[in-house]
Structure 1
Amino acid sequence: MGDLAARRHLLVSARAEFLERADADLRGVPDHVAASWRRSVASGVQPGVVTTEYHADLDVGSRLVRCARPVIEQLAEQIADIPTCVALTDDRARLLVRRDSSPLFGRVADRQYFAQGFGYAEGSVGTNGVGTVLEFGESVHIVGAEHFVESLQPYACAGAPIRDPFTGRIEGVLDISCLSENSSPILHSLVRSAAARIQQNLLADRNQQQQALFDAYARVDGRSRQAVLAVGPRTVMANSPMQTLLDAGDMVALQDHVRFVMLRHPGVDDRVDLPSGARVRLRGSTVTAGGGVAGMVAVVSVLNEVDGSAGPLARAVRAADSGSGAWRAASATVARALRAGSAVLVIGEPGSGRFTLLSELYRRTHETGRVVGIEAEHVEAAPADVAATILRPESPSVLPVLRDVDRLSGAAVDALLGAFGGGIAPSVAATTAETPHDALLALFRTSATVPPLRNRTGDLPVLVDALLAELAPGRDVRLSRDALRLLGRYDWPGNVGQLRDALASALRRRPVGRIEAADLPEFCHSAPRSTLRPVDQLERDAIVTALRDAGGNRVAAAAALGLARSTLYRKIRQYGITV
C-alpha cells in the first residue's frame, strides 16, 4: 500500500511541477504518459475537469459495432464482479457502446461524460485509455494520477486499439474503466485479448469483394515462393518477400500502377520502371466479385537493381522518361500514334497532363513542330472554321489538338463532322475527360488513358523537380522531406495543374532555398474524408492559417478564430488538418 501511495505522490508532484514549468523533469513518469501530458498541454486541455463535446452523428450500427458486441458482452461477464464499464469508441474517440457492470458505476461514468456520443480524444480530455491509445498507436493502462485531468484521477482505464485486419488502420478502441483501487494489470491483458477477438470478427465479416481478394491472394501466395502483392481500392496485402523487395517509394508507385491497370485489364504482364530506377516485372490477374473489381493479385520480380553509380540528375532524367507504369504505357501509345500520323484521343482528368503529353511527344518526333490547342468553346462557335484549320493547317508540322471534346454538344459534333466532308487529316489529336459523342469516336484510330496524379504518387519527386525548374529557373529551390511527404498525402483533385499552383504559392513564401511543409498552401495540410464545399474550403484554410500563425498552439488558434476549443478540435479532425 505504501508503494502505491509513494507512486501517487510522485505522479501528483511531477504533474504539479509540469503545469508550472513546461520544461520540468518528468523523471519517474512512464514515457508514454509523459508524452501524453505534453500533448495535452500543447492542445490546451483544461487540467481540472473534463471538457468534451457531444456528437449526434454516430454510426451505432456499423460493422465495427456489429463485430464488437458479442465480445463486449463476453468481456463484461468476465469482469462482472468488479464495478466497471466496457466501452467501444470509433477512430475519433467517440463512444459508440458502453456496457456497465452496475447502474451505480454507470452513473459515475455519466458524471465524467464517458457516455455514448461524447468524445474522449486526448486533444480535449487529456491522457486516458481511449484518446491516448489513438495517439500512441498501442494499448495503454492509465491508472489514477497518470490521468492529466484531475477529475479523472480516481479512475483507471485499460484501452487497446482495434485494427482493420487488411489495412492495419485503427478502426476504434476497446476500453475497460474502473475505480483506481479496483485496477489490476489483468484488465490490460483482458482488453488486449478482447480487441484481438474483435479483429478476428472483422476478418470473418469482410465483404464479398474483400473475401474474394483475400482468397485469391492466399492461393497465389500458397503456391509461390516469390513476392506476391494484392491491391484493392483500399486494401494492400504483401507476403514477406514482397515487403522486403522494394523501398517505400517504389512500393507506393507500384501500388498506384496496379490500381490503375486493374480497372482496365483482366490480366497484366508489365515491365514497370520505378522512381528509384529499379525495374520490376508485374504478372497479375484482376479479381472480380459481386459484379465489380475487387482488386488484383500479382507476382513481382526485380529485373534490374538500382544503378547506384548514376548521379541524381541521370536518375531524374531516366525517371522522367519512364514515370509510373500507367504513365509510361500511355506515353508509348501516344508516341506510336504520333509517329504513324494516326489520329489519337487522350483520356484523363482535367489537369492530369493530357495536353502536355501530346505536346512533349510531338516535339520529340517533329523538331520544328508546333501544337495548337483548340478549345471546345471555339468548336461550338465556329465548327466549319475549326474543320478548315484541321484540314488545311498553316504548316505540315502543326498538330491540332481538340481540347475537352466531351464538352461538345451533339449539334457541334454533327456540324464539325459535316464540315470535314467525309475526310479528316490524319495528324489530329483530342483530349477528353469522359467518353465523347459516339460519332466523334469514329475520327480516331488510337486512344490512351493518362492516370490522375493520385495514382502517380511515386512520380511526385520528379514532377516537383521539373515544376520547380520551370517556375524558378536558375534558382536554388528544393523541397524538404517533410514537404514532399505532405504532398504525397494529398489527393490532388486538380492533378498536376493543382500541384503546379501549390509550388507557385510556396515559392511566393520561400523564393530561394529549401521549401518547408509550412510554406505549402493551406489545402495541402488537409486530408478530408469527403469532397469539401467552397465554404468548407474557406473555413479549412482559415483554421490552417490560424494554426500556422500560432505555431501549432490550438488554444491560441481557437482564440484568434473566436471558436471554442472543442469546436476547433472537431474541425481539425473533420478536415484532416495536419499542422
Structure 2
Amino acid sequence: MTHTPVGRTPLTRARVGHLDRSDVDLLGVRDHVAASWRRSLALGVDPGTIANRYHPDLELDSRLVRCAQPVIDRLAEQVADVPVCIALTDDHARLVARRDTQRGIGVLADGNNFATGFGYGEGEVGTNGVGTVLESGESVHIVGAEHFVERLQSYACAGAPVRDPLTRRIEGVLDISCRSEHSSPVLHSLVRSAAAQIQEALLLDRDPGQQALLSAYSRADARADARGRRAVLAVGRRTVLTNALTQSLLDAGDLLALQDHMRFVMFRTASTDEGVDLPSGTRVRLRGTVVAVGDSVAGMVGTVTVPQDDAGVVLVARSRARTAGRPAEHTAGPVPGARGPAAASRAPAWRAARATVAGALAESPTAVLVLGEPGSGRCRMLTDTDGELHGPGNVLAVGSEQLTDAPGPVADVIRNPDPDRLLVLRDVDRLPDAALETLSAALDDPRPPGRPLRIAATASDDAVGGPAYGALLDRFRWSATVPPVRHRSADLPELAESLLAELAPQREVRLSPAAHRVLARHTWPGNVAELREALTGALARRPVGSIEPSDLPESCQSVPRSSLRAVDQAERDTIVAALRDAGGNRVAAAGALGLARSTLYRKIRLYGITD
C-alpha cells in the first residue's frame, strides 16, 4: 500500500454520500477502503455504534498464540515509545491476545470492545485492520475516517494476515492500533514484518514430517520451474501443497481424486511412475517420490503431466476412449444394475482394482485375490462386479470362522465346482495353517471336465503369513487392492447416501450439509463397515428426516493421531456429548465436565475432536 490517505474532509464527504446512496462513486477513496465500505453497508453494519460480540470459549493458548507471543513481545519493545495496542486474532477475527505499550491506549481499546474474546470482523464493526484483512486477504492500513464506524475514526490500525506456511491458509491477523495522530506508514511495515516472523515460527513449530514435506516440495517446484514450469503436487497425511499450474490443469474433482490416490500409493511404494485416470476422463502421468522421516512416511511429492496434442489441447476424449475400452473400469457414473457402496467410485485406485477384478472374473477358470483393509468393500466389489458380468445371485461367500471350523465341506465345493457360481473365501489371512493346507490341497486336486472353478479370496493388504498362507496365495492368478475409505474422500457423500438407501429404503431420510461435513472430517479406520454402523446408529436416533451431527456417534467427531484405548474412547465420547449439549461452548462444556478450560482444550487436541 503506497498511497497516502486522502484528507479527512473529502473522505468524510465521500462516506456520507455512500451512506445516503450505496451506488455513489467513491472518488478519492482508496480501492480497498471503498470495497470494504460497500461490504459493510451490504452487511447492515450500523455506522453509529460498535456492536461486536464477545466469545467466551476461545482457545487462548493455541499453537498460533504460542508461536506469536515472542514476536509480539519483540514488536512491543520496538514501539515502546508509541501508545499502541498489538492484537492477534484467529481466522474468525476474534481477539486471542493483546499487548499494550501504555495503559491509556489499553483503556481506550477496552472502551471500543477491542479486547480479548471480542470479534472485530467487518460484519460487526465495518472497515478495520482486522476484518478487512480477512476479507481482502492482504495487509491494510486504515486511518481515521477510512473506518466505517464513527467511533473508530479517531484511530488508525495496520493489520497483516498470518498464513500457515504450508497451506497458505490465513490462520489469524496481527494488528497494531493507535490514535490517528500517532499513525505512521512505519507501523504498516512493522506489522507485515512481524506477521512474517510468526509464519516462520509456525513453520518451525511443525512436526519433522511436515517440515520434510515442505522442503521436498520446494525443491521439486524449483526444479520444475527451471525446466519450463511443471505441475507439482505434495500430499501429506493432512497437508496438500500445489503450484499454480497444477490448479490450472486440474479441476477440483480431479485434484481431490489425485490427492486420494497419492495418499494410497505412498504407503505402498517408495516411488511411482504411472498413468492415472481421473474422474473427468483426463488421464495424467504421475511421477511421485515418497518423503520419509526415519521409518515414518511424511507424504509424497510428484509432478503431473497431462498429455496434449500438437495444438496443445488436453487429450480428454482420447483418454476416455482408452479407459472405455477396459471392460469394467466404469470411469463415471454408477455401474448398470449395481447398487450400493461398491457401485461406483471417483478414486483412481478403486477403479483400477475394479478393472482388474472384472478382467479376472470374465475369464474361466477364475482365481482372483482382493486385498485391502477390513471393511473396505472387498467382498462387495467381487459381488457387484460378478453380478454385472454374470447376473446377480451367483456368489457364495464363506467367512473365515466357517472355514476355520469346517474347511472340508468348502474343499468339496472346490473339487466339484458349480461353473456358474463364484466362491469367495473371506479373510483367508486369518485362517489357521490346517485350514489353509486343506484349501491348498483342494485347489490342487483335479476337477470334473467342463466344470471350471470360479474362486476369489479376500485378505488384508498388510498380512504377514507363514508358509501355509503363502502356499495358498500361489494358487491365485490375479490380485487387486481396494483402497480404504479415507483414500476415497470424493466418494464419501455417495457412499453415505447409498448406505442410507439400503438401511432405510422406504423412508424420507437424508444427511444434512453439517452432517456431511462431520463425516468428511472423520478418517474411518473401520471403512465402509464403520460408516454403515454410524448411519445405523443415526437412524436409530432419527428414523426419518434430516440427520444432523448430533445424531451421529460421538466417534465421528474425533480424528485422533493414534489409536485410542477403550478408556480413552469413553472419555472422548463424554467430551463430545458435553460439547453438543453446550452448543459448542467450550467454557460451558468444561464447567459441566468439572474440568479446567485448559484441560478441556488439551483433551480436544489429544482426541482430535472437531467442531
* Fold match by TM threshold 0.5: yes
Q: Does 1:273 align with 2:277?
A: yes
Aligned to 1:16: none
Q: 1:458 pairs with 490, 493, 496, which one?
A: 490
Distance 1:463 1:176, change over 3 A: same
| 1:390/1:428 contact within 8 Å kept | no
Q: Greater CA deviation, 231-240 or 535-544?
A: 535-544
Distance 1:521 1:154, change over 3 A: farther
Q: Kindly state the Cα deviation for residue 225 of structure 1 after the two structures are TM-superposed.
A: 4.2
Question: What SS is found at the alignment partner of 1:316?
Answer: coil
Q: Secondary structure at the match of 1:442?
A: helix
Between the aligned partners of 2:492 and 2:257, the Cα distance in structure 1 is 10
Q: Shift in Å at residue 357 of structure 1?
A: 0.9
Deviations 1:48-79 (A, max 9, x none): 996645868555896x44xx84x546644543
C-alpha contact 2:93 2:173 (8 A) present in aligned 1: yes
Q: Which shifted more, 338-347 or 324-333?
A: 338-347
Q: Structure 1's 143 and 376: CA in aligned 2 closer, same or farther, altered over 3 A?
A: farther
2:381 aligned residue: 357
Matched, 1:495 2:531: no
With 361-370 and 346-355 compared, the bigger mean Cα shift is at 361-370
Task: Please list every run of 5 or more consecutive structure 1 residues that lacks an aligned counterpart in the other structure.
Answer: 14-26, 40-45, 548-553
| 2:466 corresponds to | 438
Determine the structure 1 residue equivalent to 2:227. Answer: 223
Cα 1:250–1:428 change in 2 (3 A) is closer
Query: Percent identity among equivalent residues?
Result: 42
Which whole-Å CA distance do the structure 2 matches of 1:155 and 1:221 have between them? 45
In the alignment, is residue 250 of structure 1 matched against residue 273 of structure 2?
no
Contact kept in structure 1, 2:518 and 2:557, CA below 8 Å: no
Quick one: structure 1 residues 203 and 519, their matched pair in 2 at CA, closer, same or farther if it must change by over 3 Å? closer
User: Paired residue for 1:285?
Assistant: 288
Deviations 1:324-361 (A, max 9, x none): 21102222333344436465443333332111112123
1:325 maps to amino acid: P
Deviations 1:309-333 (A, max 9, x none): 99xx995247966642110222233
Alignment-derived partner of residue 29 in structure 2: none
Residue 170 of structure 2 is aligned to residue 170 of structure 1: yes
Q: Which has the higher contact order (CA 8 A, sep 6+)?
A: 1
Residue pair 1:262, 1:296 contacting (<8 A) in 2 also:
no
CA distance in 1, matches of 2:261, 2:174: 37
Cα root mean square deviation, aligned: 5.8
Q: Deviations over 1:380-429 (max 9, x none)?
A: 5x1545654664567344444343455x3xxx512313544745367240
- 1:272 aligned partner, one-letter code: V
Change in 2 beyond 3 A, CA 1:91/1:415:
farther
C-alpha displacement at 1:297, in angstroms? 1.1
SS at match of 2:86: strand
Distance 2:406 2:556 in 1: 43
Looking at structure 2, the residues matched to 370 and 363 of structure 1 have their Cα atoms a distance apart, in angstroms, of 7
SS state at 1:168 partner = coil
1:299 aligns with 2:310: no
Q: Tell me if the contact between 2:510 and 2:546 (Cα under 8 Å) persists in the aligned partners.
A: no
Opposite residue 472 of structure 2, the aligned amino acid is L
Contact 2:95/2:119 (<8 A) preserved: no
Match of 1:370 in 2: 394
1:81–1:31 distance in 2 versus 1, CA, 3 Å: farther
Gap change, CA 1:482 and 1:318, over 3 Å in 2: farther
Counterparts of 2:41 and 2:575 in 1: how far apart (Å)? 33
Assess if the C-alpha contact under 8 Å between 1:93 and 1:173 holds in 2: yes
Does the residue aligned with 1:424 lie in a helix, a strand or coil?
helix
1:422-465 superposed Cα distances (whole Å, 9 cap, x missing partner): 45367240233641533424311454321122222233465467
SS at match of 2:288: strand
* Secondary structure of residue in 2 paired with 1:530: coil
Query: Does the CA-based 8 Å contact 2:368-2:479 persist in structure 1?
Result: yes
Are 1:533 and 2:569 counterparts? Answer: yes
Q: 1:257 to 1:363 in 2, by over 3 A?
A: same
Which one-letter code corresponds to 2:301 in the other structure? M
2:424 corresponds to: 401
CA distance in 1, matches of 2:263, 2:97: 36
Matches of 1:97 and 1:56, distance apart in 2: 7
Equivalent in the alignment of 1:191: 191
Pair 30,523 (structure 1): closer, same or farther in 2 beyond 3 Å = farther
Distance apart, 1:195 and its partner CA: 1.8
1:106-137 residue CA offsets vs partner (Å, 9 max, x unmatched): 7998999999xx655669xx769898579747
Letter in 2 for 1:530: P
Secondary structure of the residue that 1:174 maps to in structure 2?
strand
1:449 aligns with 2:504: no
Q: Which amino acid aligns with 1:284?
A: R
Is the 8 Å Cα contact of residues 232 and 242 (structure 2) preserved in structure 1? yes
Tell me the residue number matched to 1:576: 610
Mark the CA change 1:214 to 1:318 in structure 2 (over 3 Å): closer, same or farther: farther
Q: Between Structure 1 and Structure 2, how many residues are aligned? A: 525
| CA 343–537 in structure 1, closer or farther in 2 if over 3 Å, else same | farther
How far, CA to CA, are the matches of 1:87 and 1:471 in structure 2? 51
Deviation at 1:219, TM superposition (A): 1.0
**One-letter code aligned to 2:279:** P
- Match status 1:346 vs 2:346: no
Check whether the contact 1:162–1:174 (CA below 8 A) recurs between aligned residues.
yes
- Aligned residue type for 1:305: V
The CA deviation at 1:246 is 2.4
Rounded to whole Å, the distance in 2 between the matches of 1:477 and 1:300 is 43
Q: 1:21: which partner in 2?
A: none
1:298 and 1:346 map into 2 onto residues whose CA distance is: 29
Distance in 2 of aligned mates of 1:364 and 1:48: 60
Shift in CA distance, 525/349, structure 1 to aligned 2, threshold 3 Å = closer
Q: How far off its partner does 1:267 sit?
A: 3.8
Q: Distance in 2 between matches of 1:491 and 1:415?
A: 36
User: Does residue 1:331 correspond to 2:354, yes or no?
Assistant: yes
Q: Shift of residue 247 of structure 1?
A: 1.9
Q: CA deviation at 1:301?
A: 0.4
Cα distance, 1:81–1:421 mapped onto 2, change above 3 Å: closer
Q: CA deviation at 1:369?
A: 6.2
Q: 1:434 and 1:501 mapped to 2: Cα distance?
A: 24
Partner secondary structure for residue 418 of structure 2: coil
Do 1:221 and 1:239's aligned partners in 2 also have CA atoms closer than 8 Å? no
Cα distance change of structure 1 residues 295 and 397 upon mapping to structure 2, 3 Å threshold: same
SS at match of 2:274: strand
- Cα distance in 2 for partners of 1:107, 1:251 equals 50
Question: Do 1:369 and 1:399's aligned partners in 2 also have CA atoms closer than 8 Å?
Answer: no
8 Å CA contact retained: 1:528, 1:576? yes
Corresponding residue of 1:17: none
Q: Name the SS for the 1:435 alignment partner.
A: coil
Following superposition, the deviation at residue 222 of structure 1 comes to: 2.5
- Cα distance, 1:370 vs. partner? 2.9
